[in-house]
Structures are given as C-alpha cells and as structure tokens.
Structure 1
Amino acid sequence: MLTINEINVFYGNIQALKGVSLEVNEGEIVTLIGANGAGKSTLLKTVSGLLKPKQGTIEFQGKTIAGKAAQTIVKAGISHVPEGRRVFSNMSVEENLDLGAYLRKDHKAVAEDKERIFKIFPILLERRKQLSGTLSGGEQQMLAMGRAIMARPKLLLLDEPSMGLAPLMVKTIFHTIEEIRKEGTTILLVEQNAHMALSIADRAYVIETGHVVLSGLAKDLQEAEQVKAAYLGGL
C-alpha cells in the first residue's frame, strides 16, 4: 500500500532522514520505534505532505505522493493524527468530528461514521456538545483519532498516541488501534512505548538518527537483544 524508497528530508541544513526505505502492506499495523529525535515524526509528516523530501520516492497504492499538497494526500486516503493530539479546543467534540469529514460529500455516510465513532469511543458520545479543550488527555486522543477516521482513510498515521496518558488509558488506546485495523484500516504507528507497539504490530522498523537500523516481524524484534537493551528496558 505504501512504499517509501531512499528518502532524504532536511530541516534547513540539518538532515533528519537519511535514505529511509520502508513499506506498509494493506491490512497491517506497522510500527516505527526509536528514541526522541530519531526521525519518526518527520517520516510521518513527510508521508502526509507536511514536509517534502529532498530526494527519494513515496508511493501510495502505486501513485507518487512525495511533495504533493497535504489536502491531496488526505483525498487519496491518508489521515494523520499528529503528536500532541491538536484538537480544536474552542470547538465541541462533534464539531471536531465534523471537520474530519470536511472533504466528504456523502452526508448520510458521514452521519453513519459519526455514530460508529461514538460506538468505538462511548465517552465522546457523552461529551459530544462539550468543548474539546476541556477534555482529559486521553479523551482528546480519542477525539483526534475519531476525527481522522471521519475522513475514511485507507491508511492511518498515528504519532505517539500514548504520550502523556495514564497506563489504563494507554491500554484502551492500543485496544482501539487494534479494533480500527479489524475494521479495515491500515496503520503506520509511531510510538515510544516500544513494548506496547510491538505487542500489536505485525512488523516494525527501528530508526536511529535518521536511519533505519533494524526491521522485521514485530514478534522477532521483541526478542532481539539490540531492541531489548535499547527500547524494552532489558526485558
């Protein structure tokens, strides 16, 4: 579904991604793990059109998307849930969800999808008229994910969905990621909680200082000594 080949991405003169290649197959959860500043979020921003690669190619369902405008990439079927949630705090929960569907014209299906979001996240139904800025961190993460799903993406990019959340909420969010995949959405997940990410992913890539240094089946990487030592606390 997604093929990234030898991309180089810069912030000014600083090279953030150095010849990164990876692929995501339809129906998979693929996770990127690595330390802060390794280039994980940069990669997601490049896929979603917020950054442009200096070299390399990105193809989505066989079509080139590298360097395309972000709204074109959303239309193609990619939604991005950025790090830090970024909900529209002065708008209600329901208004945030409606914004997620702003490119869609199928109003009946939009209403059905909103009801589906409320089934996945019942707390959002209770809070539907509440200003999103008054929600807890976990509720805001649910809203950010729900808003992205409202675009009916084929590929969902999730950037640090567990950041700053209580352990119980982290479990809820990861369970929901698995449910979203079961409903047919492919997921590329950036996550510092490597243990949780590897437990739900099919495959994983380890990124260090802008390079992919390791890749393979998630269950194999969970057992790799290099990964255990660096990201799983030596478990």
Structure 2
Amino acid sequence: MLKVNGIDVFYGNIHALKGVSLEINEGEIVTLIGANGAGKSTLLKTLSGLLKPKSGSIEYLGSSISGKAPQSIVKSGISHVPEGRRVFANMSVEENLELGAYLRKDSKEIKKDIQSVYELFPRLEERRKQLSGTLSGGEQQMLAMGRAIMAKPKLLLLDEPSMGLAPLMVKTIFQIIEKINQDGTTILLVEQNANMALSVADRAYVIETGRVEISGTAAELQASEEIKKAYLGGL
C-alpha cells in the first residue's frame, strides 16, 4: 500500500531523516517507536506532504506522492492526526468534524459519516455543540481522530495519540484504534508508549537519530532484550 524508499529529509541544515525505508501493507497497524527527536513525527509530516523529501521516493497505491501538496494527499486517501491534536478551539465539535470532510461533495454521506463518528466516540455526540477548546485532552484526541476519519482515509497516520492522557483514556483510545483498523483502515502509529503500541501493532520499526535501526513483527520486538531495555522499561 505504502512504500518509502531511502528518503532524506532536512530541517534547514539538520539532516532529520537519513535514508529511511519502510513498507505498510493494506489492513495492517504498523508502529514507529523511538526516542523524542528520533524523526518519527518528521516522517509522518513527510508522508502527509507537510515536508518534502530531498531524495528517495514515496509510493502510495502504486503512484508517487513525493512532494505532492497536502490536500492532494488527503484526497488520495491519507489522513494525518498531528501530535498535540490541533482541533479548532473556537469551533464546535460538529463544525470540526464537518471540516474533516471539506474535500468531499457527498453531503448526504457526510451526515451519515458524522453519525458513524458519534457511534465510535459517543462522548463527542454528547458535546456536539460544545466549543472544541473546552473539551478535555482525551475528548480533543477523539475529535482529532474523528475529524481525520471524516476524510474517509484508506491510511490513517496517528502521531502520539496517547500523549498527556490518563491511563484509562489511553486504554480507550487504543481500543478505538483497533476498531478503526478492524473497520478497514490501515494505520501507521507513532507512539511514545511502546508497550501499548506493540500490543496493537502487526509490525514495528524502531527509529534512532533519523535512521530505521530495527524492524520486525510486533511480537519479535516485544521479545527482544535490546528493545525491552531501551523502550519497554526493561520489562
């Protein structure tokens, strides 16, 4: 579904991604784990068109998307839930969801899909007219995910969905990630909580200082002593 071949990405003079290659197959949950500043968020921003690779290629469903504009990447079926949620604070929950569908023209289907988001996130329906800036962190994360789903993505990029959330809310968010995947959406998940990420993922890549250092099935990485020591709290 998605093939990243040897991409290099720079922030000014900083070489943020160094020859990164990875592959995501349809229907999978793939997770990227690594320390802060390793390049995980940079990779998601590059896949969604917010950053341009200096070299290498990105293929999605057999076509190149390297250097394409973000809106055309959304149109092709990739949605990005950024780190920090980034909901529109002065707009209601429902207005945020409607904005997620801004490239779509099928207004009847949009209404149906808003209802589907409310079924997935009942708490959002209770707060549909509430300003998004007044929601709790967990509710804002639900809204950011719901807004991304409104674009009807085939591939969902999730950047740190559990950041700053209470343990019970983290559990809820990960259950919803699994449900979204079971409903047919492929997921690339960036997550500091490596234990939770590996518990839901099919495969994983470990990024260190801009390079992919280790890859394998989630079970292989969970069993690796090296990974346990570095990312799983030595469990």
Normalising by structure 1, we get a TM-score of: 1.00
| In 2, Cα distance between equivalents of 1:189 and 1:152 | 17
Aligned residues: 235
- 2:65 matched to 1:78? no
Write out the 4+ residue segments of structure 1 that deviate beyond 3 Å after TM superposition: none
TM-superposed deviation, 1:67: 0.4
Secondary structure of 1:156's counterpart equals: strand
- 2:31 matched to 1:31? yes
Letter matched to residue 123 of structure 1: R
Secondary structure of 1:114's counterpart equals: helix
Q: Which residue of 1 aligns with 2:149?
A: 149
1:60-88 deviations in Å (ceiling 9; x for gaps): 00000010000010000000000000000
Q: Which residue of 1 aligns with 2:184?
A: 184
| In 1, Cα distance between equivalents of 2:145 and 2:206 | 24
- 2:166 matched to 1:166? yes
| In 2, Cα distance between equivalents of 1:215 and 1:100 | 33
What RMSD in Å do the two structures reach over aligned CA positions?
A: 0.3
Q: Which residue of 2 aligns with 1:223?
A: 223
| In 1, Cα distance between equivalents of 2:174 and 2:112 | 24
| In 2, Cα distance between equivalents of 1:202 and 1:116 | 26
TM-superposed deviation, 1:140: 0.0
- 2:24 matched to 1:60? no
Q: Which residue of 2 aligns with 1:43?
A: 43
Normalising by structure 2, we get a TM-score of: 1.00
Q: Which residue of 2 aligns with 1:122?
A: 122
| In 2, Cα distance between equivalents of 1:177 and 1:47 | 20
Secondary structure of 1:123's counterpart equals: helix
TM-superposed deviation, 1:226: 1.0
- 2:2 matched to 1:2? yes
TM-superposed deviation, 1:97: 0.1
Structure 1: gaps of 5 or more residues: none
- 2:96 matched to 1:101? no
Secondary structure of 1:91's counterpart equals: coil
TM-superposed deviation, 1:43: 0.2
Equivalent pairs: percent with the same residue? 77
Structure 2: gaps of 5 or more residues: none
Within a 5 Å distance, the mapping from 1:192-211 to structure 2 comes to 192-211=192-211
Letter matched to residue 138 of structure 1: G
1:154-191 deviations in Å (ceiling 9; x for gaps): 00000000000000000000000000001100000000
| In 2, Cα distance between equivalents of 1:142 and 1:23 | 27
Secondary structure of 2:21's counterpart equals: strand
1:81-136 deviations in Å (ceiling 9; x for gaps): 00000000000000000000000011111111100000000000000000000000
1:124-151 deviations in Å (ceiling 9; x for gaps): 0000000000000000000000000000
1:185-214 deviations in Å (ceiling 9; x for gaps): 000000000000000000000000000000
